[in-house]
Amino acid sequence: MTLTNGASKPYKAAIIQDFSTNKPWGQMTIDATANFIRRGIPHAQVDHYRAADGETLPPAKDYDLFVLTGGTVNLLEEETPEWALRVLDLIRDAGGLPRTKLIAFCWGHQAVHYAFGGVLDLLEEGPRIAVEEMNLTLEGKKLFGKETLKYHKRYISRLAPDFTALAERCEISCSKEKGILTFQGHPDLSREIVRALIDTDDGLYKPSETTHRSPCGKLFSSDTADDGDEVWYKIMDFVSAS
């Protein structure tokens, strides 16, 4: 519970959906994220905002936690959609609130660093959907308690100020000052969700890219076991820390 003027109120979390789809994997992703939040904070009120569909976003001060999903909007293009600009504003507002935490995946990871002055770059081999093994930095090993992580992954060439890299190539980052933890990959995607995504893919993810070796690390097939469930325990430890 959080406190307001000495009175308790429900812990409030908001999932900000940064993709637009009516395919089954979309709701599966939102439901899985909500379940992970409630596993860590059983009494949490979890709300869902379809940012990419133009839904009005709440004030940052109204929530204890924001989770930003993946998405496909290219923030390097000259014109950024209005909804994405509103998400960037929300990120900046949340980062300025000492008691509000923010977790971001994939596009959300890129948006956080874009919002705070980081540098984005294109991934030469294009989008990928598979399980990729990445090496953690010393700070990353402290947080996750292991040498490497494996999860479904899709590039930040330079982190925003006040952020620390938790994995090589800036694939995981943290700002304890702002209460933000970001992942270039997808600990939110289970094997079941990935299979549903591949089954309804419209060509964005090429089949060969699920098996080819990547310069970022060892790339496994989409059926490979991942660390997503374990990572979520660490995410919620970060969220719950004062």
Residue 125 corresponds to which amino acid? E
Q: What is the pLDDT of residues 54-96, one digit of tens each?
A: 999 999 999 999 999 988 888 887 789 999 999 999 999 999 9
pLDDT of residue 2: 54
pLDDT of residue 208: 47
The bridge status of strand 148-153 relative to strand 185-186 is: antiparallel
Q: Model pTM?
A: 0.79
Q: Domain ranges in the chain?
A: 2-121+155-188+227-240
CB 216 within 8 A of CB 169: yes
C-alpha to C-alpha distance for 202 and 77, rounded to whole angstroms = 22
Residue 71 corresponds to which amino acid? G
Query: CATH code for 2-121+155-188+227-240?
Result: 3.40.50.880
CB 112 within 8 A of CB 180: yes
pLDDT of residue 145: 67
10: its two tokens = 């429900």
**Residues with Cβ within 8 Å of residue 71, at least 6 apart in sequence:** 18, 19, 52, 106, 107, 108
Which pLDDT band, with edges at 50, 70 and 90, does 211 fall under? very low
Tell me the mean pLDDT in the region 158-168.
87
pLDDT of residue 60: 98
Q: How far is CA 208 from CA 34, 218, 220, 224, in A?
A: 31, 14, 11, 15
